[in-house]
Amino acid sequence: MKHFEGFGLSPVLAKSLARMNYTTPTPIQAQAIPLALEGHDIMGSAQTGTGKTAAFAVPLVEKLLTDPRGSALVLTPTRELGKQIMDIMQQLLGPKSPIKTAFIIGGESMGKQLAQLRARPRLIVGTPGRINDHLQRGSMVLHDTHFLVLDETDRMLDMGFAVQLERIFKYLPEKRQTLMFSATLPKNILKLSEKYMNAPRRVSIGETNVVAKNIKQDVVRIEQDKKYGELMSQLHERDGSVIVFVKTKYGADRMAKNLRRDGFVSEALHGDLRQNRRDKVMQNFRKKNFRVLIATDLAARGLDVPHIEHVINYDLPQVAEDFIHRMGRTARAGAQGSAISFVSSQDGRKWHAIERLLNPGADSGRVDGPKGKPGNSKKSRKSGKRRFRKRPQERLAA
């Protein structure tokens, strides 16, 4: 399908898409939307930044607009991603829509959420933990929820939400349409789909375990105590917005403070911040009121900020799959982006896991060079080129 008009959508939704400048569907949208409109369950996989949200949001809103009965539930791993999804849904529903919505996430007032639920919303977007809280309290019912979406399913399972998802499924009607989207498809997701989906149609755009081709990657082999100095050099060399990934909440706060001291306007984003503070940080970052965002994996999951030009992996992720998700924060919607990873001698095992993820069928030899400096030998560099489908440029820090 070359244009959204070809989907035969309702006038309200078509008008909303035009207002949002949605004219030509991305590949994942072109494949998933027609199947979803026909009522099929869908298991979708694509790299981040390819338009997955609209791929499920368009058929979901079309269902709500054309069928006066039933409700829809969207499950997401983080509050930030949930907010982005809800914003898109409300734009698609159009101004002054009679369809009520509820945003059910942790960290926000239970009283406010109870008021939203008492209004009998037909669209609920939320995180598994808080959704379960309401189900157990009896303040939420899902008996008429005939449209279910699980977004960033791999991350929800990585974050330990498997038990909560199982409980939520028990409250849902057996007869429903289920759409499951993920950037990667590990075995636990395939098992989940076999158990809870009805003959799902697979929609896959490109390879899931690769970094987008429009991202220029670099690797710096460096010792831990020299990372901050290298970060300063990288920030001076680069123009545009930057997201720096660190391992801990404390590390994010400390780095943002140090960067402000050293002349870079920066803010931290992590799970310990109150929701209103997280919203303010992201609002200011989107408005380009500051240039450098320091984030943990949990907080940055699914962030869609088109102007992010650079990703810096100050610390490598604990879970190899998160490397791909981090890369997806830049080069959104076909734009160009760059990424650099700092790899210390203590990071050999993590970096090896990332290499295996990016090219699982290749040689599994280690890349650790002599004296704890990975990739220091000619042999390791040569074999490394075979392992990466898109090999980053590597260099040793001075």
pLDDT(250) > 60: yes
Query: How far is residue 1's CA from residue 10's CA, in Å, rounded to a whole number?
Result: 17
The pLDDT, as a whole number, for residue 178 is: 97
Domain boundaries, the chain: 4-205, 215-396
Residue 202 CA neighbour count, 13 Å, CB half = 8
> What class does CATH assign to 215-396?
alpha beta
The pLDDT, as a whole number, for residue 3 is: 84
pLDDT(391) > 70: no
| Contact (CB, 8 A) for 373 and 396 | yes
The pLDDT, as a whole number, for residue 278 is: 86
What DSSP designation does 89 have?
A: H
The pLDDT, as a whole number, for residue 238 is: 92
Q: Which residue has the tokens 């429009």?
A: 214
pTM of the model: 0.70
| Contact (CB, 8 A) for 20 and 29 | no
Q: Which residue has the tokens 């380009």?
A: 288
Assign 221 a pLDDT band (cuts: 50, 70, 90). Answer: very high
The domains spanning 4-205 and 215-396 adopt the same CATH topology: yes
Phi/psi at 131 (nearest 5 deg)? -60, -45
pLDDT more than 70, % of the chain:
86
User: Any idea which architecture 4-205 has in CATH?
Assistant: 3-Layer(aba) Sandwich (3.40)
Assign 361 a pLDDT band (cuts: 50, 70, 90). Answer: low
Return the SS3 of 323.
helix
